[in-house]
Chain A
Amino acid sequence: SGGGSESSGEPAEPNNENTDEVGTEGEQLKIGLTVPTLGNPFFVAMSKGAEEVASKYDAEVITVSAEHDLAKQTAQIEDFITKKVDLILLSPFDSAGIAGAVAQARAAGIPVVALDGFAEGGINTVVMSDNVQAGRLAAEYLVEQLDGKGNIVIIDGPPVSAVTDRIKGFNEVISEYPDIKVIANQNGEGNREKALDVMESILTANQQIDAVFTINDEEAVGVQIAQEQAGRQDEFFIVSVDGAPSAVDLLKAGGSFAGTSAQFPNTMVIDGVALALKIIEGEEVAEEVLIPTKFITQDNVDSYEGW
C-alpha cells in the first residue's frame, strides 16, 4: 500500500484567530480525528495541529489512523459516535466510501468536518488544499523553466482524490504545450522506496529527461536519489506537491529539487475546528474552504514555515 499521498492546504486565510473559549460550557470539548495514515508526515503534522487545538480550547482530541483501510475508518467513526464526541474531524481516505459513516454521525447530531478531501454523506463543511491548483502551480513552474518544451516524467501515486486532483491540475497546464512530451508515467505508490526503484528503471530507458513531476515530496526524494546515483543531477529538475520537511531540506541544499506546492496541514485542523464551533453555535459556514497551496522554490524556501 502506498504511503503518503493525500494532503492539504494552507492556512485558510486564518479567519479564526479568536474563538473565545467556545466549546461546550462546563464539559470538556471532545474531538475525534481520523486520518488515512499516520505513516505520512502530513497527517502527523495534522495530528500535531490537533494537539494545538486541544490546548487552545482545552479539548480532548482522539486521533486515530485508518491505515489506508476504508472499513477501518468507518469503524473509527462509529467508535467516535459511541464515545459521544462533540465533533468529528475526518480526513477521508475515500470520499465516497466514507459516506455511510458520515451519515450515521450526522444522524447522531455530531458535526463532521472533512479535512484535506471531500466526503459524501452530508458533511458540514470541508477544509482542504486546493490540489488542482497545487498541480497547476507545479506545472506552471515546470513549463516556465523548460520554455514550453522538453521530455518529462510523471510519477503517480495511489488513486485517491488528493492525488488525482494534482495530476489533473498538472495535466491541465501541460496539455497546452504540445512540445512537452510525457515520456514515462509510472506509479511510485507515494513512497520514497518505490519511487526510487521506478525512477532507476526510467533513467535507464530514457536518455534525455528534462523534468520530473511527482505527486508528493517523498516520491520526489526517491527520484532525486536515483538521479544522483545515475550521475544525472544536472540533466533535469524535479517538482512536486507537499512542502514536507524533507522537501524543505532539499530545497535549502539547492540541488535538482526545484520546488513544491506547499500545503498547510496544521492550519487545516485549526480552521476546521473553528468552523465546527461556529456550526455548533448555529452559524452558517461555507460548504467548502479551499486553502490555496503556495509554491516553494529554492529562492523563497527560507520564508516558508513548514509543518
Chain B
Amino acid sequence: MDSINKSFSGVQVLKNVNIELYKGEVHALMGENGAGKSTLMKIMAGVYQPDRDSGKIVYKGNEERWNNPMEARNKGISVIHQEISLSPNLSIGENILMGTKFKKNKLGLVKWNEIYETADRVLKSIGSSLNPKANVSTLSVAQQQMVEIARALSFNSEILIMDEPTASLTDKEIEKLFGIIEELKKKGVAIVYISHRMDEIFKISDRLTVLRDGNWIKSGPISETSPDNLVKLMVGRELSDLFVKERKQETIRPKDEVPALELQGISDKNLVDNVSLKLYPGEIVGLAGLVGAGRTELIRTIFGLSKLQEGRILLDGEDVQINNPIEAMKLGIAHVPESRKEQGLLPNLSVKENILMAQLPTYRKYRLLQTKRMDHDAERYIKELGVKTASKEQNVMGLSGGNQQKVVIAKWLSISPKVLLLDEPTRGVDIGAKTEIHKIICKLADQGLAVLMVSSELPEVLGVSDRILVMHEGKLRAELSREEATQEKIMYFATGEVK
C-alpha cells in the first residue's frame, strides 16, 4: 500500500501512509491509540476506501481496488477485527462461516450439518472445544475472540490481519495463538499483527511499521530496534519511566494494622469459591489468573453486583453488607469495570459529566446543579490525571482509549474512595497512556488508597503490584510477594497445575 490517505468527515486520519507486506512474515503495526492502525487495516480489508486520488494498493504485483469486505476476502485477505464483530444471536458455526456462501442442497436451502461440521473442524484446528451449535451470546469475551480467530482462519487466506487479537486473551491462549501464527508463517501467509503489548511484538514479529498521528514514521526489521526505541518512535519523545515503579516496598506490616478491605471465605453463586484476602491501605494487590478464573466475578461480588452466598466482607475491620453498587459507593469502594465501553462510559455525555456523574448529589443546591463548582472540579480532575481533551465539554467518545480510561478512573476518584477495585485497567490502552495510568495508580496508593487490580497482562501485574494473588477456577491458589513473583510462577499457579 502506497501513500494512502483517509479522512472522516473532513478530518484526515491517515496521511500518505505506506506499508509493505511479504509472504511468510509477521508484520507488527505499531502506534498509539488513534494513530490510525485499525483504519489502515480496514482499508486493506475493503471496509473503507482510501480517499479519492490517493495512493494505491498493489497486490501480487497488480494495482487493485476492492469495494467491499467480500471482494477483499475473495482475493485472500482475512481479518480479525479489533471490535468483536459477531452476531450474538447466531450459532458459533454460523458466525464462523457468515459472509461466505453457505452450502446449499438441491432446493437451494442451507445445509446446516455441513456448516456445523466445517465450523467444528476449524475450531478443533485452533484447539478450541467450543460447540459450533451454541449461541454466541452465551460466550465470554475470550471465547468470542477465539470464534473471531476461527472465522479468520476458516478459509485459506494469503494475508491475515490481526487487530489486537490478544486484548482479552490470557497467556495460555496467546501461546496457542502464537503456535498457529508460526504454522501460518510456514505456509507463506503474510500476517499483520497489531498489539499494545510490547513483549508480544518482540516475540513474534519479523518486521514492523510505526504510525503516529496518521503519519507513516518508519518501517524496518524488528531486529533493528529495541522496546525503548520503538516507544520513542510511537510516542514521538523519550519515555524513560516505562513500567518502573518508584515506590518504596513495604512488605512488612505492623501486626495490628487493620486491612482496608478484608474478605473472609466469600463465595458467590457462580464461580467464586471461598476466597479470603486482606488489602491494606496504601497497597496495590494484583490479581492474576486465566480468562474465566473468576477475578471479575470476585470484584463484582465485592461491589455488590453479584450476590454473596457465603463469607464476610470487612471494611476497616467492620462487617459490612453490600447489596448494590450504591451501598458499595457509600462505604468508599470504587470500581473501574472490565469493559470500558459497555460498563464504564456514558457515551453521549461530556468528559465533565462522565467524571462527576457518580457525585452529582453533592453538587445540588435548591435541587439545581451548581455548574460553576462542577466545572471547577472537573477541570481539577482533568488536570490531575492528565486527561488529554479539547475541553471538558468534549463528548467523551471523542477521546482515545487511554484517555477514556482515565476519565473512568477519575469518575471513581471523585467519590474519594478508600478501596479501589480495578478490572483490567489498561486493556487496549497504548503504551504511553498505560504508563500514565500506572503512575496514577501508584500515586493514589501512596496517598493511602487500597488498590485491588485485576489484570491479564503479566508484565503489568508484576510491574505495579506490591503483592500478587493468583486465582484459578474461582479459588485463590497462591499469594506471591513482589520479590518472589515471576511470570513462570504465576502461570504455574494460574493453570491449576498444583494440587
Direct contact of A and B (CB under 8 A): no
B residues near A, CB below 8 A? none
A residues near B, CB below 8 A? none
